[in-house]
Amino acid sequence: MSETAIIHNRLPVLRAERGLSRKALAEALGVNYQTVGYLERGDYNPSLELALKLAAYFDLPVEMIFSLQPFTPLSRMAASGKGD
Amino acid sequence: MSETAIIHNRLPVLRAERGLSRKALAEALGVNYQTVGYLERGDYNPSLELALKLAAYFDLPVEMIFSLQPFTPLSRMAASGKGD
DNA sequence: ATGAAATGTTGTACATACGCAATATTTTGA
DNA sequence: TCAAAATATTGCGTATGTACAACATTTCAT
């Protein structure tokens, strides 16, 4: 597409919650461990395939992990009981 | 990633339901009209950005439009009342 | 039946996603 | 504190997503 949009993601939080290293997550997904780093830093966006695999891995909808709009912190969402 | 997986999609059905031409959908999404054709035919998968835009446009979760597993026809899902 | 709109096909070009390697820096645990 | 693990950085190679153009084929309304 024309201008590549920044896609916000909750990967660092989700990974932290489960105490996973990038290497461990990468292996579970079948990608290079550096790829996880690229994604977390926002160097580039995942392919749809990888996004679907991540969603399946974390058992969350894609939209809960990736969004065109900035995320509300999960801690705040949990406290208020409201989603985005 | 290693082998590029085939991602199944419900674009033709969704577009048919709303009586949209590819051109009209493409314009709503801000992409070339041929891109929609490529996606529907499975020539390639959309970027995550485009997938999120499509989901927003149709007001459906990404997983309802794209899946690593073949879809149950919507008609059958509607009849049984069960999802995938 | 005919012309217009929609869709399919082929080819070129470019940006981005991903792999892999090597090395630097930071964080962490014993 | 000090070594190991985790994370960051750079660079290079390949594959894929998207645009665009030109033309062929199919579908559809009148």
Q: What is the ipTM of this complex?
A: 0.92
CA proximity to A62, closest of A82, A78, A48: A48
The secondary element (H helix, E strand) that includes residue B74 is: helix B74-80
Instruction: List A residues 14-43 in contact with B (Cβ-Cβ < 8 A).
Output: 30-31
Which positions of strand D lie within 7 Å of protein CB atoms?
5-11, 15-22
Angle at A32 between CA A31 and CA A37, to 5 degrees: 105
Give the mean model confidence (pLDDT) for residues A43-49. Answer: 95
- Distance in angstroms (rounded) separating the CA atoms of residues A47 and A9: 13
The secondary element (H helix, E strand) that includes residue A33 is: helix A33-41
Q: How far is A14 from chain B (nearest CA, A)?
A: 19
A-B C-beta contacts closer than 8 Å? 71
A4: pLDDT strictly greater than 80 = no
Q: How high does pLDDT run on average in chain A?
A: 92
B39 touches strand D (CB under 7 A): yes
Of B1, B31, B55, the CB nearest to A49: B1
Q: What is the pLDDT of residue B72?
A: 85
Q: Which of A11-15, A75-79, B42-46, B64-68 has the lowest mean pLDDT?
A: A75-79
Q: What superfamily in CATH does domain A8-63+70-80 come from?
A: lambda repressor-like DNA-binding domains (1.10.260.40)
Q: Which residue of B has its CA nearest to A69?
A: B52
Q: How high does pLDDT run on average in chain B?
A: 92
User: Burial code of B1-36, b = ≥16 C-beta within 10 A, e = fewer?
Assistant: eeeeeebebbbeebbeeeebebeebbeebebeeebb
Kindly state whether B64 is in contact with chain A, defined as any CB-CB distance less than 8 angstroms. Answer: no
Q: What is the pLDDT of residue B1?
A: 76
Would you place residue B84 in the very low, low, confident or very high pLDDT band (cuts 50, 70, 90)?
A: confident
Sequence-separated contacts (24+) of B11-20 with Cβ below 8 Å: B11/B36, B11/B39, B11/B40, B11/B54, B11/B65, B12/B40, B13/B74, B14/B58, B14/B60, B14/B65, B15/B40
